[in-house]
Amino acid sequence: MHAFNYHRPSNVNDAAAQAVKGEAKVLAGGQSLVQAMKLRLAAPSDIIDLGMIKDLAGIKTDGKTVTIGAMTRHAEVARSADVKKAIPALAALVGMIGDRQVRNMGTIGGSLANNDPAADYPAAVLGLGATITTTKGTHTADKFFKGLFETALKPGEIITSVSFPVPKRAAYMKFKNQASRFAIVGVFVADTGAGVRVAVTGAAPCVLRLAEMEKALTAKFAPESVANLKVKPDGLNSDLHASAEYRAHLITVMARRAVEAAMK
Amino acid sequence: MGAPLIGARIQRKEDYRFLTGAGQYTDDVTLQGQTHAVFVRSPHAHAKIKSIKKDKALKAPGVLAVFTGEDLAAAKVGGLPCGWLITDVNGQPMKEPPHPCLAQGKARYVGDHVAVVIAETLDGAHDAAELVEVDYEVLPAVADAAMARAKGAPVLHDAAPDNTCYVWALGDKAAVDAAFAKAAHVTKLEFINNRLIPNAIEPRAAIGLYSRAEDAYTLYVSNQNPHVERLLMAAFVLGLPEHKLRVVAPDVGGGFGSKIYLYAEDVVVTWASKQLNRPVKWTAERSESFVSDAHGRDHHTIAELALDKDGKFLAMRVKTTANMGAYLSTFAPAIPTILYATLLAGQYTTPAIHVEVTAVFTNTAPVDAYRGAGRPEATYVVERLVETAARELKLDPAEIRRRNFIKQFPYQTPVALLYDIGDYEATMAAAIKLADVAGFPQRRKEAEARGKLRGLGYAAYIEACGIAPSAVAGALGARAGLFEAGEIRVHPTGSVTVFTGSHSHGQGHETTFAQVVADRFGLPIESVDIVHGDTSKVLFGMGTYGSRSLAVGGTAIVKAMDKIIAKGKKIAAHLLEAAEGDIEYDRGVFKVAGTDKQKMFGEVAFAAYVPHNYPHDKLEPGLNENAFYDPSNFTFPAGTYVCEVEIDRDTGTTKVVNFTAVDDFGKIVNPMIVEGQVHGGITQGIGQALTEGCRYDATGQLTTGSFMDYCIPRADDVPSYKVDTRETPCTHNPLGVKGCGEAGAIGAPAALMNAITDALGIKDLPMPATPQTVWKALQNKKAA
């Protein structure tokens, strides 16, 4: 690891100001950034640790939405009775992130700002049509995820919270990479009451929605609506663990299983 | 005298320190004035080193030295020696290209050590390592063993212009050809035994310390055989007399073979400690372990089995290309020959076997012994062939094995080994019962109803352990003996310290060996401590590998105990005023036969050290004995594994739902430790079959260089195992033991792949059977 300056601001405005200096990086759990630093792949001049900013963490529910503070650890979301009651699929998804150690440190804000193509959270955020609040305003999920490790966040813009509308029913199915346990394909299906959203992570350079499946499921929310909907492998990721063809196949399988799970 | 300790499930004495964080590993050793080494490694699989510029690195803060291959050559530091010489089919010695400790002229694999930076701090060394400017001319590379001998393949070493280390053969080719000519059926398979990366939990580490006062070195190193390390480094690399090098292998967090070898880093830190007159420490990062630890397996094999119409095996023909990697690691040449070809008879009476092995150099990390070492590859050949033959002949896979099992012992195989004892039928019968094979058709039906494909596979493995009779090993090319040494030091008040050359790094020697000694001496186990891993304490040792510790190292201890008891009888006879011939000994009690006159072990020990009433005219005081033991044969553990899998058709995911292992390890000292060894071995075998596949791309880059891509199995990847043992005691060691450390890794892959191919209804599938591989096989089957 290269040497760096460490900052631990107590409020988000100070953090935002520090974050634009030099080659600064914001630390929000550090489950990707610290690994990259240890491997000397990332060498930030300054680390702005959000861990001491108290009002960035916490979970609020009002029956219609679940709002999660950016620095809320995965473990806290996974075991939250409120989240489990309002959006059980979200609590279940978070419980599948990484391992126990990762979940104790990793945060929703960190995950979304990083936008790893195989991360789980983006599937829930896009699948549920969540709203991302930052130090500079709000982003809809549909406009937040821009590409491989790319988001709508501007330099110095820090996520403060994420609001999830409570769906009628939803489920997430994840097919894990055996080694990393990241999603090779993860499909989040949500019946919002005003239509169905289907978001896929792991399969492509960035989380995406599947319009054809959404249409079929909006017409009839049932496994058979998607069971035979083949996905084209064009543009999907292809690596040692899964070819684009295999991923395309898995999207259909995981979507069908997610619908089955949502109906239970 | 307490309850018998042999056969008791005693909790491991060493676990208290391991589980409470009191273990002392090499990286825990911190020496006064310690410096830190970081190795500059080649990012290229094959490259000419045009120049190395050290200036910038040397100017970096806290940097003490930068050394390259040129510096080592100038200091006359030798290359890494190979401990085994194979003589090829033409009677010529294998090609043995130099293996410099820092690359000279060329780098030959990604991770090859090119330079070392030594600095005051670890971070400083890392920073400076980035400033070493190596000008590489990248050369074409070859990573695949099957491509290494192709026309126009890039050549690694001038000494081996066709990239061939040796072509070696064993068996009667004419007899095999004749048998194939008259066979009613031939089963043929071609497969790759996948390359594995060992991944001990503790990465390799070494600290070199030079004492100017004594003009002597100490090396702390995470290693499985400190005396062998000392011998190789002192005699062949640094040119030191052995008494000037002390090697300490303290607590070692696993090895699985990968820490048997003398590595370049060990040499460099030792040598550099004198140059700097300061201790030099190096601890591998996990990424370094992936590229630089010796890998395992990597065979490409074509195997054929000839059978008569009743399924009797007539002959076997095997051709294997074995990947040695870029250089010969310490015991590399022995793995695909002595530890592989000689095991191809398996548990069967196959009368004629011929095997040809071609060992090649490629631009990959060196390959050497890894848990099982040759024997998993042999078992895979035999047991995949046997199961496939049974399917082709529509015979029950257990029945075809029964028809061919060896039943008379001793049995001379056509591939050099003499099996002393076994009962393969009884072992398999026990496995069939424990696995409830009879209930399988019902379980398969239930699985089908749930949309799952269920399959069952067997593997009846045999291994040669207790390595090895030195004369036999020497005749086969070993450049060292393979005996073991032990010493018993009885203290005046009757407690005992045992010194053994067998190193323990997860095997539980400190408990098992203590059980053997405490039981024989009638002592509580707390009164016996086992010392290992330090050449300045232990008289000698050949170390731990090849499931040899109890069979060979344990026997050396027994021989030393025999001497203690013989002397004890003399002392007791004197104390009891009886003739020595009238003294009987049993578990700590010296007794005059037919009387109630007796002396306890502790009383005899006390008399030896406080010799007021002592036969000084006939006997030296003290009670301390040592012994060396060279086995007269290998031991032959064998067993039957039964594996059941369920496959998810939609995703290709394989779940191991049942795994049954019945092993014959001979006598068992601690069943709990043995079960642990079996569990660990099976898990590594499941890893090979299902999840672990080391991959190099066509340019020789390691594409599975971290746990993000290389998958060692985790607890939720494996079922709860059903294990049991049968016992035919080894005939040629006093404990009747055979060895249990490698069995699981040897038998499991074949059992798994037999089960998976059964579930899928296909002939073969490459390992590891990842979900994608299985899914593709299902797609191909659908298309066919």
d(CA B176, CA B157): 35
Q: Are strands A150-151 and A145-147 parallel, antiparallel or unpaired?
A: antiparallel
From B452's Cα to the closest Cα of chain A, the distance in A is 15
- How many residues are there in chain A? 264
| Closest to B106 in 3D by CA, of B66, B145, B50, B148 | B50
Q: What is the CA radius of gyration of chain B?
A: 27
Q: In terms of Cα–Cα distance, which of A236, A213, A255, A259 is closest to B651?
A: A255
Please name the residue of chain B whose CA is at the shortest distance from the CA of residue A38.
B285
Contact B707/A178, CB-based, under 8 Å? no
- The amino acid present at A217, given as its one-letter code, is L
Beta carbons of B701 and B109 less than 8 angstroms apart: no
Sign of CA dihedral B571, B575, B580, B584: negative
Chain B residues within 8 A of A180 when measuring between CB atoms: 707-709
CA distance A167 to B427: 58
Instruction: Please report, as a single letter, which amino acid is at residue B738.
Output: K
Tell me what the mean pLDDT of segment A216-235 comes to: 97
Condensed to tens digits (0 to 9), the pLDDT of residues A242-264 reads 999 999 999 999 999 999 999 99
pLDDT value at residue A247: 98
Beta strand residue intervals within B448-527, DSSP E: 452-462, 484-490, 496-500
With the CA atoms of B293, B297, B298 and B299 taken in that order, what torsion angle do they form, in degrees rounded to the nearest 10? 150
A23: nearest Cα among A38, A39, A8, A3: A3
Tell me which residue of B431, B27, B404, B473 sits closest to B220, measured CA to CA: B27
A100 lies within 8 A of chain B by CB: no
Which member of A1, A240, A250 has the closest CB to residue B709? Answer: A240
Q: Which residues of A touch B773 (CB under 8 A)?
A: none
DSSP H/E element including A6: strand A5-7
Q: Taking CB atoms and an 8 Å cutoff, what residues of chain A touch B695?
A: 240
Residue A263 backbone zone (phi > 0: left; psi -120 to 50: alpha; other: beta): alpha
Q: Which one of B123, B650, B703 has the shortest CB-CB distance to A240?
A: B703
Query: 3-state DSSP call for residue B186?
Result: strand
The token pair that represents B310 in the structure block: 């009743």
CB atoms within 10 A of CB A168: 12
Determine whether the interchain pair A179/B707 forms a contact, defined as Cβ–Cβ distance below 8 Å. Answer: yes
A2, A39, A242 member nearest B772 (Cβ): A242
Cα(A152)–Cα(A144) distance, integer angstroms: 5
- Chain A: residue nearest B704 by CA? A240
A40/B126 Cβ within 8 A: yes
Closest chain A CA to residue B778 = A246
Local structure of B314: helix, strand or coil? strand
Q: Which residue of A has its CA nearest to B649?
A: A253
Nearest to A179 among B126, B711, B772 (CB): B711
Nearest to B770 among A2, A178, A250 (CB): A178
Q: What is the pLDDT of residue A193?
A: 86
Q: Which of A39, A180, A239, A240 to mutate to test the interface with B (most CBs of B within 10 A)?
A: A240
Coil, strand or helix at B33 = coil
Q: Which among A2, A179, A243 has the least Cβ separation from residue B772?
A: A243
Residues in chain B within 8 Å Cβ distance of A175: 651, 771
d(CA A167, CA B386): 56
Q: For B650, name the nearest residue in chain A, comparing CA atoms only.
A: A253
Distance of CA A98 to the CA centre of its chain: 12
Chain A residues inside the 8 Å CB shell of B126: 1, 40
CA distances to A215, B60, B127, B209 from B121, in Å: 61, 12, 10, 17
Which residue do the tokens 């015979």 mark?
A: B395
Helix (H) or strand (E) holding A75: helix A74-79
Q: In what order do the strands lie in the sheet with B313-325?
A: B164-171, B352-361, B313-325, B299-307, B185-193
**What secondary structure does DSSP assign to B666-703, as a single string?**
BS-S-HHHHHHHHHHHHHHHHIIIII----B-TTS-BS
Query: Please, which residues bridge with residue B322 across strands?
Result: B299, B359
B32 vs A107, B123, B195, B246, B268, CA distance in Å?
A: 42, 18, 41, 18, 19
Q: Which residue of B has its CA nearest to A247?
A: B772
Set of chain A residues whose Cβ sits within 8 Å of the Cβ of B123: 1-3
Report the pLDDT value the prediction gives residue B1, as an integer from 0 to 100. Answer: 53
Contact A178 B775 (CB under 8 A): no
| Pick among A178, A240, A246 to test the B interface (most B CBs inside 10 A) | A178
Q: Which of A100, A124, A121, A116 is nearest to A189 (CA)?
A: A124
Q: Does A249 touch chain B (CB under 8 A)?
A: yes
Q: Which of B122, B651, B714, B717 is the best mutation test for A, with the most CBs of A within 10 A?
A: B651
pLDDT in tens, B626-651: 999 999 999 999 999 999 999 999 99
Cα atoms found within 13 Å of the Cα of residue B476, Cβ hemisphere only: 25
pLDDT at B3: 82
CA distance A45 to B699: 34
Residue in A with minimal Cα distance to B779: A246
CB-based contact, A242 to chain B, within 8 Å: yes
Instruction: Measure the CA–CA gap between B247 and B778, rounded to whole angstroms.
Output: 53
Determine whether the interchain pair A241/B772 forms a contact, defined as Cβ–Cβ distance below 8 Å.
Answer: yes
Give kind and range of the element (H or E) at residue B375.
Answer: helix B375-392
Q: Are A202 and A187 in contact (CB under 8 A)?
A: no
Name every chain A residue with its beta carbon within 8 A of the beta carbon of B655: none
Q: Is the dihedral of CA A173, A178, A181, A186 positive or negative?
A: negative
Cα separation values, B629 from B498, B544, B552, Å: 15, 14, 7
Q: Does A187 touch chain B (CB under 8 A)?
A: no
Question: Touching check for A41 and chain B: CB below 8 Å?
Answer: no
Secondary structure of residue B384 in the 3-state scheme: helix
With contact defined as beta carbons under 8 Å apart, do B227 and B545 qualify? no
Contacts of B703 in chain A (CB under 8 A): 240
A164 CA to chain B: closest CA distance, Å? Answer: 30
Q: Which of B723, B746, B60 is nearest to B343 (CA)?
A: B746
DSSP designation for B527 = G
All residues of chain B having their beta carbon less than 8 Å from the beta carbon of residue A1 are 123, 126
Alpha-carbon distance B423 to B409, whole Å?
9
Asked whether the predicted pLDDT for residue A9 surpasses 80, the reply is: yes
Amino acid making up residue A254: M
What's the rounded Cα separation, in Å, for the pair A226 and A253?
9
User: To which residue do tokens 């994840």 refer?
Assistant: A174
Question: Does the beta-carbon distance from B776 to A1 stay under 8 Å?
Answer: no
The residues facing A140 across adjacent strands are A131
Whether B375 and B343 have beta carbons less than 8 Å apart is answered as yes
Helix axes A244-263, B771-783, angle to 10 degrees: 100
CB count within 10 Å of CB B433 equals 14
β-pairing verdict for A46-49 and A5-7? parallel
Strand order, beta sheet including B216-221: B63-68, B113-119, B35-41, B280-283, B205-211, B216-221, B245-248
Residues of chain B with pLDDT under 50: none
Residues of chain B whose beta carbon is less than 8 angstroms from a beta carbon of chain A are 123, 126-127, 130, 287, 650-651, 691, 695, 703-704, 707-711, 717, 770-772, 775-776
The two three-digit tokens of residue B13, written as one number? 């004495």
Per the document, the length of chain B is 784
Spatial distance between the Cα atoms of B66 and B40, rounded to a whole number of angstroms: 10
Contact A240 B695 (CB under 8 A): yes
A96: nearest Cα among A210, A187, A199, A32: A187
